[in-house]
């Protein structure tokens, strides 16, 4: 069997959970089947069963424009070029809307089954219009067209499956739940603190940690707003980079500046750090916070748990299937606006985050208990081997169904 995986992100160009997912999934799949990865970038490698082919968008398609829809046009151009030379592929598998039309077109041109993994849903991310402008209508069209045509849709959580069936008119039997995973041999506690010292984090003072992109979805500004409700000597480490837009970058900078007027122990690492550095930050945090307002799975919570960190996270989406309330951390509920998806009462949400974070910061024994339980849950429930096996089984079922339909 040979599968073609399509993704925007692939090492070394990873900035979010979808890229992490494809990185590990492709390597695990390649232990058992042939895998070719088509991604954005100049990558080109062959390592056993794993073949990586990068490409760049067609520059002419956006030459002469600086409109926000540029990103959507570039994505579509790359979808077109990446499907022109698929050979010996039995099935195609796409990840995120950026490459969804590659799967749609490959199915039509090569007559192979098409699987689509949803790491998020465009209709539930209204704030994307800030990033993509009118291109948001195009990204929504690409996602919808592909999802409705896919032979199998993989949801990364039960909550995401419910969202898919609520948003799109799909038969339930076409939507399958296969979780994200974690490599617990790589993500584990480390005594190394060199990265902390390099970035100005004081290892002797307990700290609350955020790791992620500066985007509306990840809710980092809500955590920054919560700082005013924490004890004044709380060390807060914001490992936050890759802002979606200049607007949210400016808003983040203003909020951090105001927070520092109240608390000088706010450390902002303004970039996406390496995996090894992230593991150090997770390992030594007293509390990890994930204030996402929309999260189909939330792989960062799983990474933190695998490193022994207790988690305070928003009670939304797939996070509720990863973090067990009062066992591996605390889930913070909030009232969500039905259109924007943002907290209806953002100050209440900030206060609630601060209350749970402060409670754990003051209780190292409970933090240890939650951290140990989180590590155990990561080991027992989220192995990449199991996830790859489930994916291959779905491939086999869809290939067999395709052959049967052909006869």
pLDDT tens digits for 59-93? 888 888 888 898 899 999 999 999 988 989 999 99
Q: How confident is the model at residue 17 (pLDDT cuts 50, 70, 90)?
A: confident
pLDDT tens digits for 280-304? 999 999 999 999 998 989 899 999 9
Domain 194-381, what fold?
Answer: Rossmann fold (3.40.50)
Question: How close are the terminal C-alpha atoms of the chain, in Å?
Answer: 20
Please give the pLDDT value at position 65. Answer: 86
Question: Which residues does residue 314 pair with via DSSP β-bridges, in sequence order?
Answer: 332
Helix (H) or strand (E) holding 34: strand 34-40
Q: On the CB side of 208, how many CA atoms lie within 13 Å of its CA? A: 30
Cite the residue boundaries of each domain of the chain with CATH code 3.40.50.2000. Answer: 2-181+383-406, 194-381
Domain 2-181+383-406, what fold?
Answer: Rossmann fold (3.40.50)
| Contact of 32 with 48, CB cutoff 8 Å | no
- Distance CA(77)–CA(195), nearest Å, equals 39
State the chain's maximal CA–CA distance in angstroms.
71
Question: Which residues does residue 288 pair with via DSSP β-bridges, in sequence order?
Answer: 209, 311
pLDDT tens digits for 230-276? 999 999 999 999 898 899 999 999 999 999 999 999 999 998 899 99
Tell how strand 44-47 and strand 50-55 pair up.
antiparallel
- Distance CA(118)–CA(214), nearest Å, equals 21
Beta-strand ranges (E) seen in 254-354 are: 266-269, 287-290, 311-314, 329-332
Tell how strand 235-241 and strand 207-213 pair up.
parallel
> 144: which 2 tokens?
């919808």
Beta-strand ranges (E) seen in 138-234 are: 152-155, 175-177, 207-213
> 146: which 2 tokens?
């592909």
Q: How confident is the model at residue 407 (pLDDT cuts 50, 70, 90)?
A: low
Q: Give the rounded distance of the alpha carbon of 286 from its chain centre.
A: 23
């Amino acid at each position: 069997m040979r599968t073609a995986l399509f993704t925007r992100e692939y090492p070394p160009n990873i900035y979010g959970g979808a890229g992490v997912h494809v990185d590990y999934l492709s390597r695990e799949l390649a232990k058992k089947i042939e895998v070719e990865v088509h991604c954005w970038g100049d990558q080109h490698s062959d390592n056993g069963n794993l073949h990586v082919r990068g490409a760049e968008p067609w520059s002419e398609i956006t030459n002469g424009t600086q409109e926000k829809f540029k990103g959507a046009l570039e994505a579509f151009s790359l979808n077109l070029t990446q499907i022109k030379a698929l050979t010996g592929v039995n099935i195609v598998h796409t990840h995120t809307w950026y490459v969804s039309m590659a799967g749609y077109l490959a199915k039509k041109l090569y007559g192979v089954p098409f699987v689509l993994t949803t790491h998020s849903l465009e209709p539930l991310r209204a704030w994307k219009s800030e990033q993509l402008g009118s291109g948001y209508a195009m990204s929504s069209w690409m996602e919808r067209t592909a999802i409705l045509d896919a032979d199998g849709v993989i949801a990364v959580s039960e909550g995401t499956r419910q969202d898919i069936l609520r948003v799109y008119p799909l038969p339930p039997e076409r939507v399958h739940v296969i979780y994200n995973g974690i490599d617990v041999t790589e993500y584990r506690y480390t005594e190394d603190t060199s990265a902390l010292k390099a970035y100005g984090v004081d290892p002797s003072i307990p700290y609350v940690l955020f790791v992620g992109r500066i985007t509306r979805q990840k809710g980092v500004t809500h955590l920054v707003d919560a700082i005013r409700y924490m004890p004044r000597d709380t060390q807060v480490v914001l490992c936050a980079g890759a802002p979606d837009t200049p607007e949210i970058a400016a808003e983040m900078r203003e909020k951090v500046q105001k927070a520092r007027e109240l608390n000088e122990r706010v450390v902002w690492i303004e970039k996406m750090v390496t995996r090894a550095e992230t593991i150090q930050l997770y390992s030594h945090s007293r509390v990890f916070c994930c204030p996402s307002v929309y999260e189909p799975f939330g792989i960062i919570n799983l990474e933190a748990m695998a490193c022994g960190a207790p988690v305070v996270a928003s009670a939304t989406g797939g996070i509720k299937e990863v973090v067990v309330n009062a066992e591996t951390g605390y889930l913070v509920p909030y009232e969500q606006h039905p259109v924007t998806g943002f907290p209806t009462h953002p100050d209440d949400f900030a206060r609630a985050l601060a209350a749970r974070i402060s409670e754990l910061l003051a209780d190292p024994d409970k933090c240890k208990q939650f951290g140990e339980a989180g590590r155990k849950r990561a080991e027992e429930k989220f192995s990449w081997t199991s996830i790859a096996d489930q994916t291959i089984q779905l491939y086999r079922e869809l290939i067999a169904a395709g052959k049967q339909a052909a006869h």
